[in-house]
Structure 1
């Protein structure tokens, strides 16, 4: 007996190559940043032989560690159709608290890191409460807390930098490196990759991860299906706070110091990595692995253009163009016919 005619098959057969490409990118958000990263590495490598040198590749990976970790937290927020402009300033606040309690108060390293975790959770919790209880738009809420955290950091630290020599060795342990096929990888990079792996597993294998995507895709539909939207949103901001506390530790090891003036562009760089990595600013679509690719793309472009002798302004210009292209591509992909 012949199978019944399926109109869907006829529809699929009549799709254009462009429609098929758009559908493929819709199903696999990390595909487009992966292509961009591979092409970028090849092009910059041919433009300058030093790009592929182990020492330069080591520099790129170590530079990506802090922004890449913050981008994990940013991904969680953006998946819910929100945005967190305060991740960088909150991370700096946590790093200064960790450094000050060890150097000035003599608190041992592990308790100091726990205090930093509490600070991170507090910053994320505040953002979450502003969004869920006061019903403030995430953009406005985190724009306000960005300035609040920055002011608290400067008041608390009095603008002073705490050097690595003034802290226990565990504080700067994340900056230690070891060779992998000639490329020196820092412990901070491994911690960053661990955060990606953990969040990827949670998002793909747990009910909480499903709820995060559902809330980002359509809050009203998620609420009607029985999901506690406010609880999910609050848990997302708390999770982001915990991750940025990890980023604070990585930052201390990376710079061998804790400074209140570090990371001026980290807020925007984390958003840039997420957007270039294929996560939709409208929520509900994207992966953390795409974010990792986005962070690497930003690092590769800045490094490659620097080796090409271009001014830092042109590097920033290139990243801005990448963001516009990524958002335009996302808008195009969202129009895929289902």
Structure 2
């Protein structure tokens, strides 16, 4: 009996050290996708192409960090793409038309996106409106303000320092964008904050059971406000990356980034029910989308089929999350 107990205890301890299937699944899917497209095109596994994939996902990847934080609290943000576009227009026009130093113009853009995030948080926590409805409304507000303020015109002739994140450097003979390094650094910082700090653990607690979390003394409303405001800051950083990548302030940016970001989060294993998931999984999810689109392009597949495949992947990921949630109850 003692031996059986010890064996059981050892097995339990070993299981705790094994990565969960939800964390392994997205990584295995990414590796499988890479292996498949490598057999379909000789160009897929080249350094230049892999660097291109990273550059293509860096904007959505940073937006998806903020989206992950919100979904971990059992919320959702449909406004992220439009808020990003507004931030890009603000920092672009402030630098070109108002003549502000690039750093000050970028700071103003970040302030605007953070303010939108805070507005979302206030409406969710104080007015008690559903996050879906709140962010659907602010998505349209941000879109309208962007079009009105920019007069639907692209902002050009930006200062070189404002688009520096779109510049490249050589890494092993491959040109890599500086913005990719910023994206990876933001993922590392967020991963550490969620895993190793009390405030990070509070985010998971609010997503798991907000009422029980409140009864333990954790200020759930303050946590939610902080999450939405921080998400807005990430959207502003994504706007800076978008401006750097395109070299312009584009009022039509962000049209699909909200759905792309949600796709990345869901594919990365974060539960739409809140409280479960990892931000590094979101990075893998963003790469999965990038790999599929890049690989299908190399195969000569029409872009409409790329959208179709992305939709199928989302449905499969949500179905798996639903089944996992039912099984856990």
Task: Assess same fold via TM > 0.5.
Answer: yes
8 A Cα contact 2:79 2:258, kept in partner: yes
1:153 is aligned to 146
8 A Cα contact 2:168 2:177, kept in partner: yes
Distance in 1, Cα, partners of 2:255 & 2:48: 26
**Displacement after TM superposition at 1:3 (Å):** 2.7
Distance in 2, Cα, partners of 1:71 & 1:274: 6
Distance in 2, Cα, partners of 1:184 & 1:170: 19
Distance in 1, Cα, partners of 2:254 & 2:328: 41
2:95 is aligned to 102
2:322 is aligned to 331
User: Does residue 274 in structure 1 map to residue 265 in structure 2?
Assistant: yes
Distance in 2, Cα, partners of 1:81 & 1:279: 10
Change (3 A) 1:204 1:189: same
**Displacement after TM superposition at 1:23 (Å):** 9.9
SS at match of 2:164: helix
SS at match of 1:161: coil
1:210 is aligned to 201
**Displacement after TM superposition at 1:27 (Å):** 3.2
Distance in 1, Cα, partners of 2:20 & 2:34: 25
Alignment of 1:105-116 (within 5 A): 105-116=98-109
Distance in 1, Cα, partners of 2:117 & 2:61: 18
**Displacement after TM superposition at 1:271 (Å):** 0.3
Alignment of 1:187-226 (within 5 A): 187-226=178-217
8 A Cα contact 2:81 2:253, kept in partner: no
Distance in 2, Cα, partners of 1:30 & 1:202: 18
SS at match of 1:143: helix
Distance in 1, Cα, partners of 2:183 & 2:140: 26
Distance in 1, Cα, partners of 2:308 & 2:52: 21
Deviation by residue 1:17-50 (Cα, 9 ceiling, x = unmatched):
xxxxx99998353211100001100110111111
Moved more, 27-36 or 140-149: 27-36
User: Does residue 247 in structure 1 map to residue 238 in structure 2?
Assistant: yes
Out of 241, 265, 284, which is 2:275 matched to? Answer: 284
User: Does residue 138 in structure 1 map to residue 131 in structure 2?
Assistant: yes
> Which blocks of at least 5 consecutive residues in structure 2 are unaligned?
none
Q: TM-score, normalised by structure 1?
A: 0.92
User: Does residue 3 in structure 1 map to residue 2 in structure 2?
Assistant: yes
Alignment of 1:1-338 (within 5 A): 3=2, 6=5, 9=8, 27=20, 29-163=22-156, 166-336=157-327
8 A Cα contact 1:26 1:336, kept in partner: no
CA RMSD of aligned residues (A): 2.2
Distance in 2, Cα, partners of 1:77 & 1:263: 18
Distance in 2, Cα, partners of 1:78 & 1:89: 18
**Displacement after TM superposition at 1:327 (Å):** 1.1
Change (3 A) 1:44 1:60: same
